[in-house]
Amino acid sequence: MKTLYELWLHSICDFDPGVVEKMVSVFEGGINKFSSPEKELREVQNAGLPKKFGTRLSDAAFFDKACEVSEYCEKNHIRIINQESAEYSEFLRNTNTPPRILFAKGEKIDLNKNLFVSVVGCRKPTDQGLSIARQIGRALAEAGIVVVSGMAEGIDAEVHKGALEAGGKTVAVLAGSVDEIYPKSNTKLYYEILKNGMIVSERPPGTVVRKYFYQQRNRIVVGLSHGTVIVEGKEPGGTSMTARLALDNNRDVFAVPGNPIVWQASLPNKLIGEGAIIVEKKDSVVEYYRDMRPEYFEHNNMEKTTEPIEIPGLSDEDSVILAYIRDRAGVSSMEELSENCGLALNVLASRLTILCVRGLLRQESGNRYILTGRI
């Protein structure tokens, strides 16, 4: 019932978080304090809202819309998370303007027990910026940190790709709804995130993105995260607004220094001058949190199981490969497998091909291998 109430309230407010916040102030004394439609209208206008929002309180069509959204989400495997839900992020709750509801699709990642770091940047980065973003995404994911970004073109997309290549988890916070892929160029990435991560938004299904949604979206990117890494960007701009949101919400702010000649480096260089934590190498953020938040790494540092996988006709080499992939829940490169399984690359390539043909392994994007359901 709480979720349906929230959907009704959001429907009245056109799912605009600014309007919702003002409308909530009207209801501080409870809905029963309204004795007539005229008083409802007066209370809404006193909160600085247009008259239309007051008249909607008595319009049953908006409750019907809330029911439709709820039914659609249930049929399409979209979770609705309100602030009373155990799934709601405590980190996000403790921000200046936390969303009252979130729509989520994909894997159910625990938003409270993991360490989250957001990595953001401009849509027109340098080639170096793209490479750095991907490497940072990989390094974070390999350390067990959940990578957060906005699935926009440029830096955001590369960060998600890096995390997925490492076999890690990533969260994409969309400005539009979770069932509207934008930009279309990231369609393949969208479905990869659905398989290996989580997509969230505060907009209801079917919402087409609008320009002003992005800053509202960015507060969620920051709110979910312990820290935010700025790779490239300029000021003023969307990335600089995200950096300011991080500072305003007492989040750690990291910045990657860049060539002062290119405009893409202007924002991170400025932030470093203002006291942001400098990212000198791809592992800088991981090393920072290993020192500052060691409790999040205890599980990842536990000794992995070495119990062998026993299947008839399986060679010792194959058993080692499958056990390693099982214990790592996916690997990121041939080099990693070669190093940890003690196999030459040519031998490894041959064994991986055979294991895929036998249906024991499946190769995914980014040269990652995962176990099939046969094991």
Task: Kindly give the parts of the chain with pLDDT less than 70.
Answer: 1, 28-40, 42-43, 46-47, 298-310, 328-332, 365-366, 373-375
Fold of 316-371: Arc Repressor Mutant, subunit A (1.10.10)
- Domains of the chain: which residue ranges? 2-75, 106-297, 316-371
pLDDT tens digits, one per residue of 249-302: 999 999 999 999 999 999 999 999 999 999 999 999 999 999 999 888 865 543
pLDDT of residue 5: 85
pLDDT of residue 224: 97
Q: Would you state the pLDDT for residue 302? A: 39
The 3 state secondary structure assigned to the chain is CHHHHHHHHHHHCCCCHHHHHHHHHHCCCCHHHCCCHHHHHHHHHHCCCCHHHHHHCCCHHHHHHHHHHHHHHHHCCCEEEECCCCCCCHHHHCCCCCCCEEEEEECCCCCCCCCEEEEECCCCCCHHHHHHHHHHHHHHHHCCCEEEECCCCCHHHHHHHHHHHCCCCEEEECCCCCCCCCCHHHHHHHHHHHHHEEEEECCCCCCCCCCCHHHHHHHHHHHCCCEEEECCCCCCCHHHHHHHHHHHCCCEEEECCCCCCCHHHHHHHHHHHCCCEECCCCCHHHHHHHHHCHHHHHHHHCCCCCCCCCCCCCCHHHHHHHHHHHHHCCCCCHHHHHHHHCCCHHHHHHHHHHHHHCCCEEEEHHHEEEECCCC
CATH topology of domain 106-297: Rossmann fold (3.40.50)
Report pLDDT for 330: 60
